[in-house]
Chains A and B, each alone.
Chain A
Amino acid sequence: MDWFPLFNSLRIAAVSSVLVFFAGIAAAYYAARLPRMLKGALDVVLTLPLVLPPTVVGYFLLLLFGSRRPLGMALESIGVRFVMTWYGGVIAAAVVAFPLLYRTARGAFEAFDETLAQAGQTLGLSNTYIFWRIRMPACRQGIFAGVVLAFARALGEYGATSMLIGYTPGRTATISTTVYQLWRTGDDRAAFVWVLVNLAISAAVLCTVGMLERKQRKGVRRA
């Protein structure tokens, strides 16, 4: 059995989660302090990928990165190609998963008690220190939930991924595109194996979340 789809799915989900983590937190942090009107407008734009059909997102990505499009051509001239490559899978998964992190992180930032940051400032702590050592830890539960959701969503991404990077065994195949291809070609047994793999990964993710949550609760009680 060829394990490439598992490896490919994991690397796409991992890399896109990291991208989404930084992009989502930056967007959430600035959105949380915008005036209401602007925030509403930004919210619509940034949440759109969550409600659009993934194939539509894939269509937009092709419009952007297609090899005959200005951006696509410009990127190609410096040797970067997002169509039919695993990097493209990262982009597709990141765009689709981004709103999940953005929304949970923004909720957490909005609930943050600003006097904590101000206390840090009057103590002379730098704004960078305050962000990473005070704001982020205080918001960690919301952000952690967002990361897990984003990772799970990226791992299961199908629509936008298949539009942008298609299905090439050994190059762009992911678990979800593999399941579909195997089923379509009548290889039900192999498809079922990948379904089991998928179930195992999902269960592992959920167990990890549960364990971390328990540990955190206990930590607060005991410490």
Chain B
Amino acid sequence: MSLSVDIRKRLDGFTLGVRFETDDPVTGLLGASGCGKSMTLRCIAGVERPDEGTIVLDGETLFDAARGIDLPPQKRRVGYLFQHYALFPHMTVAKNILCGLHGEKDKAEKQRRLREMLALLQLEGLENRLPAQLSGGQAQRAALARMLVSRPRLLLLDEPFAALDSHLRDQLQPQFAALLREYGRQAVLVTHSRDEAYRLCSRLCVMDGGRILRSGDTKSVFADPGSVAAARLTGCKNIAPAVRAGAYAVDVPDWGVRLTTARPVPDGLRAVGLRAHAFHPDESANRFAVRWTDAVEEPFEWIFLFRCAGQDAAAPPLWWRMPKDQKPAVPPEALGIAPENILLLT
């Protein structure tokens, strides 16, 4: 199982230039809308054509501009789950699924595989419904069934949860992850949600403006996003320009603090990022005095907004996020942050 993508395509406003190789079960493409992540998926599926480059799946070349190879989507055996599921509106659920079985000529076998899929995705009883009569979760399962029944070699998942309500999303993600594991083929998942990326993907490529900023295993990408844009996309709230002050020290003029880092400060350092969860009132390293500006209550967390003692009063405040049970009775006068929690961004 391996997928290797190296493509370039001119688009309105920017050029998509994406290169990655993966043999992970689920690879995520994380990025804001319009960054080219869906276009990448469409190129792999063959419904869009890159200007240059190659796409190789399990040793078979699907696309190679230089050698004039461009397999039609029908020959790629790559499944595509569309953002709005793209169920054929005039066909029932069963007929939609049978579209994935058109190559199977044995009628009994066809029915058997249809039944199997209906059972696997809990669609029994819904087979005669039209897509318009399905709930969002049912439509997602019907589209998954239609895709999986054709036994694709690779699954391409384009924002599979974007069309669902948030409560349904959280509920369905574990089932979805289990299904992908059970199917046992590689998948590429496109998402703009860092939570979804973190939960579902073992490997992550962070994209911005048509390029991959950072790729690696998901945990290490979150621990060291590498660039300002990637830090934002992975949810880092506190980012400010920084300058090198030593092998393990950086100055942050906007906040008026000097921070000690665990890793050596890289050449070309542009900024530091501090995740909102990373502060601690009892941390002895990197302590600085703070002025509280506001507090926001969320269902299960508190967000404290503060400025560092040396920070300009007009500058945007920093965020400290904590679970409700860890909220201090009195806001502390100083906060610290562990050196390993300082993201060094270039």
Contacts and interface: CB of A to CB of B under 8 A. Distances in A.
B89 A122 contact: no
Interface of B: 42, 45-47, 72-74, 76-80, 82, 84, 86, 88-90, 92, 99-100, 102-103, 128-130, 132-133, 146-147, 150, 152
A121 B90 contact: no
Interface in A96-148: 113, 115-116, 118-126, 129, 134, 137-138, 140
A123 B99 contact: yes
Given A220-B132, A223-B92, A121 B72 contact: yes
A134 B150 CA distance: 18
Given A118-B47, A124-B103, A220-B130, 17 more contacts: A113-B86, A116-B88, A118-B45, A118-B80, A120-B88, A121-B72, A122-B45, A122-B46, A122-B76, A122-B78, A122-B79, A122-B152, A124-B150, A137-B90, A220-B132, A223-B129, A223-B130
B73 A121 contact: yes
Nearest to A113: B86
B73 A138 contact: no
Interface string A208-223: 0000000000001001
A124 B84 contact: no
Given A123-B146, A125-B102, A138-B88, A118 B73 contact: yes
Given A137-B90, A138-B90, A122 B80 contact: yes
Contacts of A220: 130, 132
Majority SS at the chain B contact face: loop
Main secondary structure of the interface of A (DSSP, over half): helix
A134 B72 contact: no
B88 A121 contact: no
A131 to B, nearest CB: 13
A90 B313 CA distance: 82
A52 to B, nearest CB: 37
Interface residues of A, number: 19
A125 B97 CA distance: 12
A134 B100 CA distance: 14
16 contacts: A115-B84, A118-B45, A119-B82, A119-B88, A121-B47, A121-B72, A122-B73, A122-B74, A122-B79, A123-B99, A123-B102, A123-B150, A125-B99, A138-B90, A223-B128, A223-B133
Nearest to A223: B130
Contacts of A125: 74, 99, 102
A126 B74 contact: yes
A146 B89 CA distance: 21
Contacts of A123: 99-100, 102, 146-147, 150
Interface in A21-68: none
Scoring A123, A126, A134, A138 by chain B CB atoms within 10 A of each residue's CB, the highest score goes to A123
B157 to A, nearest CB: 12
Contacts of A115: 82, 84, 86
Contacts of A121: 46-47, 72-74
Given A115-B86, A118-B86, A124 B79 contact: no
A133 B152 CA distance: 22
Contacts of A113: 86
Nearest to A121: B73
A126 to B, nearest CB: 7
